[in-house]
Amino acid sequence: MMALSETHLREKAAQYGQSHLFRFWDGLSSSERAGLLDSLSQVDFALMDTLIKSWVLHEPAPEHFSRIEPVNVIPPVDENSDRTALDAGEQALRDGRVATFVVAGGQGTRLGFDSPKGAYPIGPITGKSLFHYHAEKIHNLQRRYETVIPWYVMVSPTNDGQTRDYFRQEQYFGLRPDNILFVRQRVVPCVDATGKYILEGPGQPAVSPNGHGGSIQALVDGGAIKHAESRGIDVLCYFQVDNWAVKVADPWFIGYHCLANAAMSSKCHRRNDLREAVGVHCLCDGVYRVIEYSELDLYPQLLERDATGAPRYFAGNPAIHILSTGFVKYLNDHFDAFPWHKAHKKIPFVNEQGALIKPDAPNGYKFETFVFDALRFVPHPPVALEIRRPGEYTPIKQYEGVNSVVAARQSMADYWGKWLEKAGCSIPRAASGACCVPIEISPAFALTEEEFIAKARGRTLVIGDGVAVDAAGECIHPPPRR
């Protein structure tokens, strides 16, 4: 987008009470001035005005629902499940109707990693990154279904260059570069408690990515929907980059989605406890919604237990969805109706003298949209498929603790450990049953237990202080004896 003129932007800023954005103009170099004009040209001042008036200057009243009900879910897939869904999903993959879509534009603040979160070396032995793991899953599916599964990667203006450089440096993990498309999400200014945009540098408004809901516009703006349609793709499998275990294009899930001719489908998992930090799938006055965990106290029913003591509204949101391309276009055309959310955050700013201040307490607001809000626009009740967490859901938000790198590595060791045991290996386990050594099995080699057992037959797998199996099924750790 071409930068708008100084005069035009000064007028706009004045019209919306944001003239302070030009406070340091006289002292800016020509490139800093160009940078400021460029940043402000991207801003939707009218939208920001609405957000500020309805979210910052007034506290919006919480939405009221007369009736909240649990959603109907399809139970987790097991050996007794009707294979019609699997057949339909496999057929869609073979027919080339499927693309994967990862959102990787977040700031990853809690993890505190310098590079894009997807480049995090999650493999405890190999150091393979999250992106690398997801790419290996795509390799496996492409080989298995003799198909091409394009990969759309949503980045933000902040990590776009770094992410592309990383993919280039890793030679696209062996995938064809023309099957990978980066789409860039938009950013929105951060504002203070009085609704003024915050400056984080004399010529630089503080901005933040517009949330994973921004993926709707990014898919259209970035050409992914055109790309998909030109290849006859109508199924977009959405996942988040920090879920190491995710099944990136699960044939069962695709099958349920296709058989229902759904606009959008979601996976759910049982909430561990009532206060678990996950959104809750439910029907609010008949409309499918995900209620954020921060809002649970507004809707006390969501904190009820059933007769067994488990959460009655059990369907937690692991952020795994399928969207049809037509539905993404519909949402994009109606994006004005998409809800926004605000977050109170510490946002570095420059004071009157132009010095950078890093606040100790939240001093401003970031605005975001959430992809799960698309569910409320779905014409028919969406397909909701329950999953068990091991081997599907290991979100990584921080290094240690709940939803962490450490917890994800343990969960995968326990999960893959079972495969190895079924293949005849003996795995050291603690009294609790937890696996005591790190384990990595390349998803390019095996995506499922059955595939692993079939392929591992006749191979020597040595469990030392851990084990890593590569894409060819070679045990690369402990190193093979030559």
Q: Where do contacts with ligand UTP occur on this chain (CB under 6 A)?
A: 103-110, 117, 154, 156, 185, 209-212, 214, 240-242, 368, 397
CB of 218 to ligand UTP, least distance (A): 9
Q: Which of 258, 257, 275 shows the shortest CA–CA distance to 266?
A: 257
CB 236 within 8 A of CB 228: yes
CB of 417 to ligand UTP, least distance (A): 27
Whichever of 125 and 280 has its CB closer to ligand UTP, that residue is 280
CB of 112 to ligand UTP, least distance (A): 8
CB 393 within 8 A of CB 246: yes
Whichever of 131 and 445 has its CB closer to ligand UTP, that residue is 131
Distance CA 159, CA 154 (A): 10
| Total residue length of the chain | 482
CB of 237 to ligand UTP, least distance (A): 14
Q: Which distant-in-sequence residues (6+ apart) come within 8 Å of 309 by Cβ? A: none
Whichever of 209 and 391 has its CB closer to ligand UTP, that residue is 209
Whichever of 242 and 440 has its CB closer to ligand UTP, that residue is 242
Strand ranges (E), 118-256: 151-155, 180-184, 187-189, 191-192, 199-201, 204-205, 207-209, 235-240
CB of 243 to ligand UTP, least distance (A): 8
Distance CA 24, CA 352 (A): 9
Q: Which of 227, 211, 207 shows the shortest CA–CA distance to 219?
A: 227
Amino acid making up residue 460 = T
Q: Which residue's C-beta sits nearest to ligand UTP?
A: 106
Distance CA 349, CA 24 (A): 13
Whichever of 113 and 172 has its CB closer to ligand UTP, that residue is 113
CB of 397 to ligand UTP, least distance (A): 6
Whichever of 185 and 325 has its CB closer to ligand UTP, that residue is 185
